[in-house]
Structure 1
Amino acid sequence: MKKSLPIPARHVIRLSWKLVVVLSITLCVVALYRLHSQPDPYSPSSSLSRARSQISRHSVSFTGPAKIAFLFLARRDLPLDFLWESFFENAGALNFSIYIHSAPGFLFDKSTTRSHFFYGRQLPNSIQVGWGESSMIEAERLLFATALEDPANQRFVLLSDSCVPLYNFSYIYNYLMASPRSIVDSFLDMKEGRYNPKMLPIIPKDKWRKGSQWIALTRRHAEVLVDDEVILPVFKKFCRRRPPVDIRKGKLNIKLQKQHNCIPDEHYVQTLLAMSELDVELERRTLTYTLWNNSPNKTESKGWHPMTFNHANAAPQKIREIKNINHVYYETEFRTEWCRINSTSVPCFLFARKFSKGAAMRLLSEGVVGHFDTSALLDPPP
Structure 2
Amino acid sequence: MTTVKPSLQSCIGEEPNNLDRWMRPPADLIHSMSEEELLWRASFSPRVKKYPFKRVPKIAFVFLTKGPLPLAPLWERFFKGHKGLYSIYIHSLPSYQADFPSSSVFYNRQIPSQVSEWGKMSMCDAERRLLANALLDIHNEWFVLLSESCIPLFNFTTVYNHISQSKYSFIGAFDELGPYGRGRYNYNMLPEVNITQWRKGSQWFEIDRKLALYIVEDAKLYPKFAEFCKPACFVDEHYFPTLLTIRAANLLANRTITWTDWSRGGAHPATFGQSDITEEFMKRIFEGQSCVYNDKSYSICYLFARKFAPSALERLFFLAPKYLGF
Which TM-score band (shorter chain)?
0.7 to 0.9
Listed one character per residue, the Cα deviations across residues 341-373 of structure 1 (whole Å, up to 9, x for unaligned) are 3636141111110001232321210124466xx
Match among 305, 312, 317 for residue 359 of structure 1: 312
Per-residue CA deviations over 1:301-355 (Å, capped at 9, x if unaligned) read: xx2421111122222222222223434xxxxxxxxxx331363614111111000
1:289 aligns with 2:227: no
Residue in structure 2 matching 1:235, options 207, 225, 247: 225
Choose 1 or 2 for highest CA Rg. Answer: 1
Matches within 5 A, 1:100-115: 100-110=90-100
Partners of 1:349 and 1:196 in 2: CA distance: 33
Per-residue deviation, 1:58: 4.2
Q: Indicate conservation of the 8 Å contact 1:48/1:141, yes or no.
A: no
Deviation of 1:56 after TM superposition, in Å, equals 5.0
Whether 1:317 aligns to 2:287 is: no
Task: Read off the aligned partner of 2:163 and give its amino acid letter.
Answer: L
Helix, strand or coil for the counterpart of 1:180? coil
- In the alignment, which residue of structure 1 is the partner of 2:122? 135
Aligned residue number for residue 272 of structure 1: 243
Between the two proteins, the alignment pairs up a number of residues equal to: 286
CA contact (8 A) 2:43 2:217 kept: no
Aligned-partner SS, 2:84: helix
Q: Which residue number in structure 2 is paired with residue 162 of structure 1?
A: 149
**Partners of 1:114 and 1:311 in 2: how far apart?**
29
**What does 1:1-382 align with in structure 2 at a 5 Å threshold?**
46-54=34-42, 56-58=44-46, 60-62=49-51, 63-90=54-81, 92-110=82-100, 116-124=104-112, 126-192=113-179, 193-241=183-231, 261-276=232-247, 278-295=248-265, 303-327=266-290, 338-341=291-294, 343=296, 345-366=298-319, 367=321, 368-369=323-324
Q: For residue 122 of structure 1, what is the amino acid of its counterpart?
A: Q
Question: SS at the partner of 1:75?
Answer: coil
Partner Cα separation in structure 2 for residue 179 and residue 82 of structure 1: 28
CA distance in 2, matches of 1:304, 1:170: 34
Alpha carbons 1:109, 1:118 under 8 Å: kept? no
Aligned partner letter, 1:266: E
What RMSD, in angstroms, separates the aligned Cα atoms of the two structures?
A: 2.1
Distance 2:219 2:39 in 1: 14
- Contact 2:94/2:114 (8 A) holds in 1: yes
- Structure 2 Cα separation of the partners of residues 213 and 54 of structure 1: 21
Q: Distance in 2 between matches of 1:107 and 1:115?
A: 17
The answer on whether the counterparts of 2:71 and 2:310 sit within 8 Å (CA) in structure 1 is yes
Kindly indicate whether the alpha-carbon contact (under 8 Å) linking 1:187 and 1:210 is maintained by their aligned counterparts in 2. yes
Instruction: Please state how far the C-alpha of 1:289 moved relative to its aligned partner.
Output: 0.7
Cα distance change, pair 358–105 in 1 and its aligned pair in 2 (3 A): closer
Partner in structure 2 of residue 330 of structure 1:
none
- CA–CA distance in structure 1, aligned partners of residues 76 and 310 of structure 2: 14
- CA 1:191–1:184: 2 relative to 1, 3 Å: same
Give the C-alpha shift of residue 170 in structure 1.
Answer: 0.9
Deviating above 6 A after TM superposition, structure 1's stretches of 4 or more consecutive aligned residues are none
Identical pairs, percent? 39
Question: SS in structure 2 opposite 1:154?
Answer: strand
User: Separation in 2 of the partners of 1:66 and 1:103?
Assistant: 29
Q: Deviation at 1:114? A: 9.5
Aligned-partner Cα distance in 2 for 1:147–1:119: 16
Give the partner amino acid of 2:173.
S
For structure 2, the 5+ residue unaligned runs are 1-32
Query: Following TM superposition, by how much is the alpha carbon of 1:105 offset from its aligned partner in structure 2, in angstroms?
Result: 4.3
The unaligned stretches of length 5 or more in structure 1 are 1-44, 242-260, 296-302, 328-337, 372-382
How has the CA–CA distance of structure 1 residues 325 and 98 changed in structure 2, closer, same or farther, with 3 Å as cutoff?
Answer: farther
* CA deviations over 1:193-249 (Å, ceiling 9, x no partner): 4111111121100000001010000111110111100111111100001xxxxxxxx
CA contact (8 A) 1:288 1:353 kept: yes
Q: Give the Cα separation in 1 of the matches to 2:287 and 2:292.
A: 11
Q: AA paired with 1:98?
A: I
- Residue 17 of structure 1 corresponds to none
SS in 2 for 1:214: coil
Distance 2:34 2:225 in 1: 18
The secondary structure found in structure 2 opposite 1:188 is coil
